[in-house]
Amino acid sequence: MFLSPKSKINILILALAIGVSVIIPAPQALANHADISAIELVELTNAERALSNVPTLTVNETLVRSAEAKAQDLLERDYFNHDTPDGKTPWTFFTDAGYSYTWAGENLAIDFVTAAPIQRAWMASPTHAANILNPHYREIGIAVVEGDFNGKHTAVVVQHFGAQNVQGVQVKSEKISLIERLRVFFASLRVRADRL
């Protein structure tokens, strides 16, 4: 996808105005197949949260489905924005998937080929980083969907965050298993190495 500098500025202004985050990288050729791992993005996100002493996130399949629906919609209707061309907000994708939330957030990325540059771009953006480090979020769902966008093959990444609306039940933070701690530790080492 090629966007003029003016289009990129307009998208950024719109994203800031509505309080959601969009990342569009510098122009680059996208390989025929992106090697973006949703699992790696979850690990990198949790590593950033651990470095900031924020509780790590648990993958929620309903959020994965809402992110997948949003990614498919972006590609099918050739738009790259948090609101759909007919005015549907990102939060509609959450509720349509069956996720009742008290807190919700969305990050988008397009035209990347691996996970680490997406995470670096998101962390370099104040609004994306705010979503990633938001202590109110407890769960995450990520979709990576490849397809044609405005006549060009690309990959779209949708990251959905949430905290479920559970009436009368206090959400307890569960103890992190040793395996999860090791995953977060090694992911944080990758993040630190990428910063060098």
The predicted model gives 11-34 an average pLDDT of 43
**Whether pTM exceeds 0.85:** no
Measured CA to CA in angstroms, residue 102 lies from 97, 110, 180 at distances of: 15, 27, 26
Sign of CA dihedral 62, 139, 89, 144: negative
Query: What gap in Å lies between CA 134 and CA 160, rounded to an integer?
Result: 12
43-98 pLDDT per residue, tens: 999 999 999 999 999 999 999 999 999 999 999 999 999 999 999 999 999 999 99
Query: What gap in Å lies between CA 58 and CA 138, rounded to an integer?
Result: 7
**Percent of the chain topping pLDDT 70:** 68
101-131 pLDDT per residue, tens: 999 999 999 999 999 999 999 999 999 999 9
Contact 137, 57 (CB under 8 A): yes
Among 8-12, 97-101, 134-138, 159-163, the least confident range: 8-12
The residue with greater pLDDT, 5 or 34, is 34
The residue with greater pLDDT, 19 or 30, is 19
Pairing of strands 21-23, 139-149: unpaired
Q: What is the mean pLDDT of the chain?
A: 80
Among 20-34, 105-119, 121-135, 144-158, the least confident range: 20-34
Q: Which pLDDT belongs to residue 166?
A: 74
Tokens for 93, please give them. 């994708």
DSSP letters for the chain: ----HHHHHHHHHHHHHHT-EEE-PSP-PPPSS-B--HHHHHHHHHHHHHHTT-PPPEE-HHHHHHHHHHHHHHHHTT--SSS-TT---HHHHHHHHT--EEEEEEEEEES-SBHHHHHHHHHHSHHHHHHHT-TT--EEEEEEEEEEETTEEEEEEEEEEEEE--TT-PPPPPPPPHHHHHHHHHHHHHHHHHH-
Among 40-44, 88-92, 175-179, the least confident range: 175-179
Q: Which pLDDT belongs to residue 58?
A: 97
131-142 pLDDT per residue, tens: 999 999 999 999
